[in-house]
A and B are shown apart, each in its own frame.
Chain A
């Protein structure tokens, strides 16, 4: 609708004109707020047209044109002023300035403003979008009774629809709440989804559903719940990786999008849904949590006449998403429970393993023994023992079951009990190793594990030791008589590698002030943050430095442990670390150093 007006070029005529426009706009059903804005903007525009008019053209009227559609109100005001350039952006004058707010007001109230200057006449075009669309519902024209009735029926229909939708939504919300409350009481996921989806088919007016989930540990969609409770096993499991599958559920899972089915396009005769519920129509919705496929939900109607409405599909999505969250939560909870159980059991195992290590080491005349054991995990495969034969002779045993954790710990325990049992029947370390290998070979080879071991028989009377090794780290020997640390390599296959392995004995004399170190490779392979290894040479130089001074075996042990800790700092332990240290504690000095020492003592 267009309204054209013109008014005499004087201020007194502006308001009546604006009033007339206002009446016109009200008749068009403009919202009062928008009418007020238009009124004000038009008044400002007209004021400007009147105030700044060229004096010689004061007799000419000002023309106003209003153009009103359902979505827009547009004004054209033609003025005969000298014109001006529309400022961009329009700014407010200082607060105390009395004038110059008109353009700002127009710009603020209107959506679009343009001002074009012409030789005689300038045109201001301003338009406002109609946001309030109430006028579309209430046409101003009078209506007959019949029309009124029709309209009333229409309104009632709309309201009924809205009420239905509202019921629909509150129904689904309450179903979700109800099921959530139930889930808190039971941890049975299947029962929960069964109940939830039974509610869903009631709400959406469906007849049946099949919920399939991808169970952990298999790329298969396994039917978890379906509307036919007794026939749960009927829908078979489906492999998800199949090429060109007949099943619409797998296609939907692979495509990651909803697939609808119905009378047309129908399902292929091989489709499990077709076999489950022939000739029904419905929807398959793949359930994702993040990027991972949780499962699929197929839901349908046996009477194929009407597909799901958009609202119903939305409700199905909501339910499916909610279900996905519950499934993931339940699985996480189970996992956490499992982890807690396992860690509890490991703690027990660790206590047992600690108890299997010798509680105290034998006391020896003039010699001291010390042992260190630290496991990388809660249970480990390292093991040591000291067994006395007589007052002055004893066995030292250090072994490392290759592998970590529980299996290694179990073999360590077996070995611990086996050694004392075999001991009465052997005289030399090599015999003992051979016997152990024979006894353990079968068990070890069955699980593809092996054990490295170092056995040493020490005879203090003769000041000698006899050693035999099964693929283990060498023994380090140092004494105050020689500069270099002696590396005693004992050759032999690890236990459990070949059935009839033979081992060799090596006999060494114990020098004065001797130190004997048996260790496992966890010690030399201890790493620090920068990837460096502790290494044998570091161990040897440490051992070299200990000779020629007075220290008990316990002191030395603490020193080495401190050295290790300094090296490893915060690095995580990679392997079990064990060592066994024999040291002569009797007072024997390096003869070359004696004079120095004496010299330092005041006379």
Chain B
């Protein structure tokens, strides 16, 4: 997993999968890297081939943290693979996150 700061955006990428086994780790790592000056969080799911409900839980937790951070920071999910996009839409998570596909 790679976490980098691009200007005022936190950019998380190269997550091979997001499941019960590593959801906690993901959450902690991202939380640890949240800078004070933050405008947006972008999570690139282009390389993610598997997400389960715990993974979704981690994303939602991140979303909650972000809404409290600096009076509300948007979380964007980038380039979800078809199977991950299906999961996101099935569980109505698209109502929470902004989803961008390039």
Contact = CB atoms under 8 A, between A and B. Distances in A.
A233 interface: no
Given A33-B83, A92-B91, A95-B96, A40 B50 contact: yes
Nearest to B95: A95
B26 to A, nearest CB: 13
A96 B60 contact: yes
Interface string B51-62: 011101110110
Chain B interface bracket (under 10, 10 to 19, 20 to 34, 35 or more): 20 to 34
Interface stretch (A8-16, A129-137, A525-533): A8-16
**Majority DSSP secondary structure for residues of A touching B:** helix
Contact of B21 (A12, A36, A92): A12
Contact of A43 (B20, B58, B82): B20
A114 B23 CA distance: 28
Contacts of B92: 92, 95
Interface stretch (A55-63, A69-77, A97-105, A331-339): A97-105
Nearest to B56: A101
B15 to A, nearest CB: 13
B21 A11 contact: yes
B90 interface: yes
**Majority DSSP secondary structure for residues of B touching A:** helix
Interface string B72-90: 0000000000110001001
A97 B58 CA distance: 10
A43 B55 CA distance: 11
Contact of A101 (B19, B21, B57): B57
A104 B91 contact: yes
A174 to B, nearest CB: 40
Interface residues of A, number: 27
A44 B91 CA distance: 13
B64 interface: yes
Contacts of A97: 60
Query: Which of B54, B63, B83, B92 has the most chain A CB atoms inside 10 A of its CB?
Result: B54
A153 to B, nearest CB: 36
A105 B19 CA distance: 14
A105 B60 contact: no
A544 interface: no
B47 to A, nearest CB: 15
Nearest to B49: A36
A39 interface: yes
8 contacts: A14-B20, A15-B17, A33-B83, A37-B83, A39-B50, A43-B19, A43-B52, A100-B53
